[in-house]
């Protein structure tokens, strides 16, 4: 297939999963296979510092304290949204459209069989509607809690609250096209290679 045709038929794969599920590990394997990865959550952090339009919208909604001399005041914003679902939803509604716009620009510059859009709240944000397919990275609840407590050196209560801000694993599992199991027992690579080959076949198929 020519580069132009490959680019024309390039697919978008959304990768999501609850905190502690291991999305980063899964995406690192896809990256090693040559798949371009767009890390939506990391891009969101960058855009809150660099996008003046987004900065103004956040200040208008949450006040001047949302930024300080160092930039985006993450500690202050966390204190606002940590126990307030409405504030968290509003913040996400400001950030996600800017991230999606950035993704579409990035996508236009890629040239591969498919790309990955990695996001913690793919379905919750509505970003799944931009995707051709979606994958959920899944792991047992207790294992996810243990991973986050160890990684972030935080208490179980904080992890459980953060999990409450995401849809249940059961809900996401029903919505996703595929599930990759990352439970420290099931081999990950065969699951990813199977999916990788399937997506390349989809891209190169003329049917």
> What would the pLDDT profile of 48-89 be if each residue is shown by its tens digit?
999 999 999 999 999 999 999 999 998 899 888 877 888 988
- Spatial separation of the C-alpha atoms in residues 18 and 120, rounded to whole Å: 7
Q: Look at residue 2 in the predicted model and tell me its pLDDT.
A: 54
Structure tokens at 137: 């990275």
Q: What is the percentage of the chain residues whose pLDDT exceeds 90?
A: 74
59 near 65, Cβ under 8 Å?
Answer: no
Q: Domains in the chain, start-ordered, CATH in brackets?
A: 1-36+115-201 (3.40.50.300), 42-109 (3.40.50.300)
Beta bridge partners of 133: 13
Average pLDDT for residues 164-181, to the nearest whole number? Answer: 91
φ, ψ for residue 71, nearest 5 deg? 120, -145
Strand 71-72, strand 11-16: pairing: unpaired
- Average pLDDT of the chain? 91
Handedness of CA 34, 36, 41, 44 (dihedral sign): positive
- Give the N- to C-terminal CA distance of the chain in Å, as an integer: 14
Q: 4 pLDDT exceeds 70?
A: no
22 near 139, Cβ under 8 Å?
Answer: yes
- Spatial separation of the C-alpha atoms in residues 69 and 132, rounded to whole Å: 41
- Spatial separation of the C-alpha atoms in residues 183 and 25, rounded to whole Å: 12
Q: How many CA atoms lie within 13 A of 102 on its CB side?
A: 20
Handedness of CA 40, 42, 43, 44 (dihedral sign): positive
Supply the DSSP symbol for 19: T
Structure tokens at 97: 């459209």
Q: Look at residue 3 in the predicted model and tell me its pLDDT.
A: 61
Q: 206 pLDDT exceeds 80?
A: no
Task: For the chain, give the longest Cα–Cα distance.
Answer: 56
> What would the pLDDT profile of 93-144 be if each residue is shown by its tens digit?
999 999 999 999 999 999 999 999 999 999 989 999 999 999 999 999 999 9
- Spatial separation of the C-alpha atoms in residues 183 and 159, rounded to whole Å: 18
Q: Look at residue 9 in the predicted model and tell me its pLDDT.
A: 85
- Which range, 74-88, 151-165, 178-192, has the best average confidence (pLDDT)? 178-192
Average pLDDT for residues 38-50, to the nearest whole number? Answer: 95
More reliable by pLDDT, 66 or 165: 66
Beta bridge partners of 37: 116
Alpha helices in the chain (DSSP H): 3-8, 23-32, 40-50, 52-62, 74-81, 85-108, 141-152, 156-164, 169-175, 189-204
- Spatial separation of the C-alpha atoms in residues 139 and 22, rounded to whole Å: 8
Q: 150 pLDDT exceeds 80?
A: yes
16 near 123, Cβ under 8 Å?
Answer: yes
Q: Look at residue 146 in the predicted model and tell me its pLDDT.
A: 94
Q: Look at residue 207 in the predicted model and tell me its pLDDT.
A: 46
């Amino acid at each position: 297939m020519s580069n132009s045709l490959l680019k024309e038929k390039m697919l978008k794969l959304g990768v999501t999963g609850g905190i502690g599920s291991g999305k980063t590990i899964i995406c690192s394997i896809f990256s090693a296979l040559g798949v371009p990865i767009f890390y939506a959550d990391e891009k969101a952090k960058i855009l809150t510092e660099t996008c003046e339009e987004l900065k103004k919208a956040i200040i208008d909604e949450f006040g001047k304290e949302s930024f300080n001399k160092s930039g985006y005041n993450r500690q202050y914003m966390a204190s606002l949204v940590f126990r307030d679902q409405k504030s968290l939803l509003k913040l996400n509604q400001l950030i996600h459209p800017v991230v999606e716009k950035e993704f579409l620009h990035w996508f236009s510059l890629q040239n591969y069989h498919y790309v990955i859009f990695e996001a913690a709240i793919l379905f919750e944000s509505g970003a799944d509607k931009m995707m051709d397919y979606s994958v959920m990275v899944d792991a047992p609840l207790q294992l996810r809690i243990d991973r986050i407590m160890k990684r972030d050196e935080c208490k179980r209560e904080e992890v459980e609250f953060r999990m409450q801000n995401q849809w249940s694993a059961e809900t996401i599992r029903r919505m996703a096209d595929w599930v990759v199991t990352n439970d420290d027992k099931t081999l990950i690579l065969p699951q990813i290679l199977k999916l990788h080959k399937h997506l390349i076949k989809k891209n190169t198929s003329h049917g």
